[in-house]
Chains A and B, each alone.
Chain A
Amino acid sequence: MKKAYKIDVDCANCANKMEDAAKKTTGVKDAIVNFMTLKMHVEFEDGQDPKTVMQQVRQNCKKVESDCEIFL
């Protein structure tokens, strides 16, 4: 399953870091962060609940970039 989320982040390098953090989260098959459109596209692994996974993704992203926000 794929979903897109609006995000807020200040710099392009930080967006790259968020992408890395999201990719490493369990339950996430692939993630792409588009800095220009401020969107995060997440592909979930089968049988994962997007809501709980996204909470974790948000936490992990906050760890690498304290200023970022994912609108769930």
Chain B
Amino acid sequence: MNQKQKKMLLRIFIAAAILILLHFLPITGAVRFVCYMVPYLVVGYDILIKAAKGIKNHQVFDECFLMSIATIGAIALALYEQSGDYTEAIAVMLFYQIGEWFQSYAVGKSRRNISELMDIRPDHANIEQDGALVQVDPDEVEIGSIIVVQPGEKIPIDGMIVEGTTTLNTSALTGESLPQDVGIGDEALSGCINLTGLIKIKTTKEFGESTVSKILDLVENASSRKSRSEDFITKFARIYTPAVCYAALALAVLPPLVQLLMGVPAQWDNWTYRALTFLVISCPCALVISIPLSFFAGIGGASHEGILIKGSNYLETLSKAKILVFDKTGTLTQGIFEVVDIHHNALENETLLEYAALAESASSHPISKSIQKAYGKTLDRTRVSDIQEQSGKGVVARVDGHTVAAGNDKLMASLGIQAIACHTAGTIIHLAIDGAYAGHIVIADVIKPHAKEAIAALKQAGVKETVMLTGDRKAVADAVAKDLGIDHVYSELLPADKVKKVEELLEKKSPKEKLVFVGDGINDAPVLRRSDIGIAMGAMGSDAAIEAADVVLMDDDPAKIALAIRISRKCLSIVYQNTVFAIAVKFICLVLGALGLTNMWVAIFADVGVMVLAVLNAIRALLIR
């Protein structure tokens, strides 16, 4: 609670206490009026002042004006009727203030909750000066400076580790709780927490351009991009408030006049009371606050899960996602090649791998790397000689005095060796030792651990169609798609073809269904832009992807896609619930009020009660898992 809220709460309590006390005092006439004005002014003086200022500045139709007119009107009516019943007017003001207080408290609380979720802003950077550590503002650190990060501190600026090894907690960036071991030469992203050792980092970016600043910027600005629901409510409120005011005026004046003309008593007081009830009901605040609050809470909840949504409008579009288009490598598969099998070999698997690894020992190609990794032991390069790399084919080398050829079909063909074709999807490395075929190694990109469940979860979340686009060979693509349960596959595509395919899909679908493209962001920027919603995953550190995508997943777990869609759906359903609920209750009460079937107390519920319920409902969006 801030100072303002505490003061308001005190005023509410004092006014309520006086009101209850007055209820039991048998006072009448002018004394009664003066006594009752005390709690009224205690709780509502600021509203009256604001209303007066509003009129002075030609801003007539605001909430304060509505409340002032309604309560002053009710008091005037009580005076005119000499009923001495001022309680109603004061209660209206009191409950209005309680509602406002609650709204301010709830909004403040969710604001804090969400900023706590995103509490990754580093406050300082350590720089070594004359042997002593000096704390400086991260903004002042220039590119290429050496900063020191002690255990327990946040890395303030992106850079490269130049001294020390440590373990980093990257959970603020990725949501991944498993710590990461890093050492000299490794990239250190800002926002990570240094867990174990002291490290020195040479900065490669300014603070403003660093990952942590970008993320904060993105989340803070997310709710500035307004959704269609928010625009609707803003426009609605703009027409609605004056409309209700004129309707109230008409209600106060027209029926009595008609009654006069018809020769019946005018009942001015009765109709004025109905008009005042009308004004109390009319406040648009429940709508105006609960909708942006729902979006804000949804975006905040999502960012806690490592899903950054760039705007309320994207959250809205995401909730209508029906067609999910995936890039394969790096999105559904890990993009790391691994030896998955060895076939038809004449030797021990181990020996075959050893020969292959030695023959390929000079190469840094991902395929060679994966063979070396599968072999797992250190390579004694002295055993290898006469390495001849044959571009696009493979390599021939002498290992332990044997001639080893490792490569594809073309290499085998050029050496005149009969290779055994493989039926497994993947990249095949044939091996021949001393001119005799020795078997082949199957290397494939590995599917991510949760990819299959992720696709199933998407279907469950209401996605109609899943599509995979890849530059990879048809056999590989089909195998992966079949394994994961993806509906359509388009393989052997160049990056430009991917854009074309997405455009085709966009044309085919109905405008209500939205197309989502998910990529790892490395060369997908054009496709990310072209689709209704672009999701970039595992994109921390890749500026182009963060720029092009509408939703950024901080880690590369495909399960987060379904979670993002689920959050957006729930958030939107909360928005609809609030809109329909608030408008329906208000209209019903307005109609009842016009017919004279309600009193001020119902009107207060229609205003404050609806708002409180709508705000509580909106906060639910923060808790979606």
Could you tell me which A residues sit within 8 Å of B by CB distance?
A: 10-14, 16-17, 32, 34-39, 41, 63-67
Tell me whether A63 and B234 are in contact (CB under 8 A): no
Residues of the A chain whose Cβ atoms lie less than 8 Å from the Cβ of B234: 16
- Cβ of A39 to closest chain B Cβ, rounded Å: 7
Tell me whether A36 and B50 are in contact (CB under 8 A): no
In the bound complex, what is the Cα–Cα distance between A40 and B50 (angstroms)?
Answer: 22
In the bound complex, what is the Cα–Cα distance between A41 and B224 (angstroms)?
Answer: 9
Tell me whether B221 and A13 are in contact (CB under 8 A): no
Tell me whether B223 and A11 are in contact (CB under 8 A): no
Tell me whether B59 and A17 are in contact (CB under 8 A): yes
The 27 sampled A-B contact pairs (Cβ below 8 Å) are A11-B100, A11-B285, A11-B288, A12-B285, A12-B288, A12-B293, A13-B62, A13-B237, A13-B289, A14-B62, A16-B234, A16-B288, A17-B59, A17-B62, A32-B224, A34-B221, A35-B292, A36-B107, A36-B111, A39-B224, A41-B221, A41-B224, A64-B57, A65-B59, A66-B50, A66-B53, A66-B57
For the complex of A and B, list the 9 residue pairs with the smallest distance between their C-beta atoms, beginning with the closest.
Answer: A36-B296, A12-B289, A66-B53, A13-B288, A12-B288, A34-B224, A63-B57, A32-B224, A36-B223
Tell me whether B293 and A16 are in contact (CB under 8 A): no
In the bound complex, what is the Cα–Cα distance between A13 and B282 (angstroms)?
Answer: 14
Residues of the B chain whose Cβ atoms lie less than 8 Å from the Cβ of A17: 59, 62
In the bound complex, what is the Cα–Cα distance between A66 and B50 (angstroms)?
Answer: 7
In the bound complex, what is the Cα–Cα distance between A10 and B292 (angstroms)?
Answer: 14
B63 at the interface (CB under 8 A from A): yes
Residues of the A chain whose Cβ atoms lie less than 8 Å from the Cβ of B50: 66-67
Could you tell me which B residues sit within 8 Å of A by CB distance?
A: 50, 53-54, 57, 59, 62-63, 100, 103-104, 107, 111, 114, 220-221, 223-224, 234, 237, 284-285, 288-289, 292-293, 296
Query: B interface, by DSSP: helix, strand, loop or mixed?
Result: helix
Tell me whether B221 and A10 are in contact (CB under 8 A): no
Instruction: Please tell me which one of the listed residues B104, B111, B224, B293 contacts residue A10 in the complex, with CB atoms under 8 A apart.
Output: B104
Tell me whether A11 and B289 are in contact (CB under 8 A): yes
Tell me whether B293 and A36 are in contact (CB under 8 A): yes
In the bound complex, what is the Cα–Cα distance between A29 and B220 (angstroms)?
Answer: 21
* Given A36-B111, A37-B223, A41-B224: A64 in contact with B59 (beta carbons within 8 A): yes
Residues of the B chain whose Cβ atoms lie less than 8 Å from the Cβ of A36: 107, 111, 114, 223, 292-293, 296
Residue of A nearest to B4 (CB): A10
Tell me whether B285 and A13 are in contact (CB under 8 A): yes
In the bound complex, what is the Cα–Cα distance between A2 and B565 (angstroms)?
Answer: 32
Residues of the B chain whose Cβ atoms lie less than 8 Å from the Cβ of A16: 234, 237, 288
Residues of the A chain whose Cβ atoms lie less than 8 Å from the Cβ of B293: 12, 36
Tell me whether B223 and A34 are in contact (CB under 8 A): yes
Tell me whether A39 and B220 are in contact (CB under 8 A): yes
Residues of the B chain whose Cβ atoms lie less than 8 Å from the Cβ of A35: 107, 292
Tell me whether A11 and B53 are in contact (CB under 8 A): no
Residue of A nearest to B53 (CB): A66
Could you say which of B50, B62, B63, B224 has the most chain A C-beta atoms within 10 Å of its C-beta?
B224
In the bound complex, what is the Cα–Cα distance between A14 and B296 (angstroms)?
Answer: 17
In the bound complex, what is the Cα–Cα distance between A35 and B289 (angstroms)?
Answer: 9
Residue of B nearest to A11 (CB): B285
Residues of the B chain whose Cβ atoms lie less than 8 Å from the Cβ of A34: 220-221, 223-224
Residues of the A chain whose Cβ atoms lie less than 8 Å from the Cβ of B296: 36
- Cβ of B261 to closest chain A Cβ, rounded Å: 39
- Cβ of A35 to closest chain B Cβ, rounded Å: 6
* Given A39-B220, A66-B53, A66-B57: A11 in contact with B292 (beta carbons within 8 A): no
Residue of A nearest to B297 (CB): A36
Tell me whether B63 and A13 are in contact (CB under 8 A): yes
Could you say which of A39, A41, A65 has the most chain B C-beta atoms within 10 Å of its C-beta?
A65
- Cβ of A57 to closest chain B Cβ, rounded Å: 15
In the bound complex, what is the Cα–Cα distance between A17 and B238 (angstroms)?
Answer: 10
In the bound complex, what is the Cα–Cα distance between A32 and B226 (angstroms)?
Answer: 9
Instruction: Please tell me which one of the listed residues A12, A37, A67 contacts residue B220 in the complex, with CB atoms under 8 A apart.
Output: A37
Residues of the B chain whose Cβ atoms lie less than 8 Å from the Cβ of A32: 224
Tell me whether B100 and A13 are in contact (CB under 8 A): no
In the bound complex, what is the Cα–Cα distance between A54 and B416 (angstroms)?
Answer: 80
Residue of A nearest to B289 (CB): A12
- Cβ of A17 to closest chain B Cβ, rounded Å: 7
* Given A13-B237, A36-B293: A63 in contact with B100 (beta carbons within 8 A): no
In the bound complex, what is the Cα–Cα distance between A10 and B101 (angstroms)?
Answer: 10
Instruction: Please tell me which one of the listed residues A11, A37, A38, A66 contacts residue B63 in the complex, with CB atoms under 8 A apart.
Output: A11
Residues of the A chain whose Cβ atoms lie less than 8 Å from the Cβ of B63: 11, 13
Tell me whether B103 and A11 are in contact (CB under 8 A): yes
- A12-B293, A36-B107 known; 7 new pairs, CB 8 Å cut-off, are A11-B103, A34-B224, A36-B111, A37-B223, A38-B111, A39-B224, A41-B224
In the bound complex, what is the Cα–Cα distance between A38 and B292 (angstroms)?
Answer: 12
In the bound complex, what is the Cα–Cα distance between A14 and B59 (angstroms)?
Answer: 11
Residues of the A chain whose Cβ atoms lie less than 8 Å from the Cβ of B111: 36-38
Residues of the A chain whose Cβ atoms lie less than 8 Å from the Cβ of B288: 11-13, 16
- Cβ of B96 to closest chain A Cβ, rounded Å: 12
Residues of the A chain whose Cβ atoms lie less than 8 Å from the Cβ of B224: 32, 34, 37, 39, 41
Residues of the B chain whose Cβ atoms lie less than 8 Å from the Cβ of A41: 221, 224
In the bound complex, what is the Cα–Cα distance between A33 and B289 (angstroms)?
Answer: 14
- Cβ of B611 to closest chain A Cβ, rounded Å: 10
Residues of the A chain whose Cβ atoms lie less than 8 Å from the Cβ of B289: 11-13
Tell me whether A10 and B220 are in contact (CB under 8 A): no
In the bound complex, what is the Cα–Cα distance between A1 and B89 (angstroms)?
Answer: 49
Residues of the B chain whose Cβ atoms lie less than 8 Å from the Cβ of A67: 50
In the bound complex, what is the Cα–Cα distance between A67 and B63 (angstroms)?
Answer: 13
Residues of the A chain whose Cβ atoms lie less than 8 Å from the Cβ of B57: 63-64, 66
Residue of A nearest to B111 (CB): A36
- Cβ of B294 to closest chain A Cβ, rounded Å: 10
Instruction: Please tell me which one of the listed residues A11, A12, A39, A63 contacts residue B59 in the complex, with CB atoms under 8 A apart.
Output: A63
Residue of A nearest to B57 (CB): A63
In the bound complex, what is the Cα–Cα distance between A34 and B221 (angstroms)?
Answer: 8
Residues of the A chain whose Cβ atoms lie less than 8 Å from the Cβ of B221: 34, 37, 41
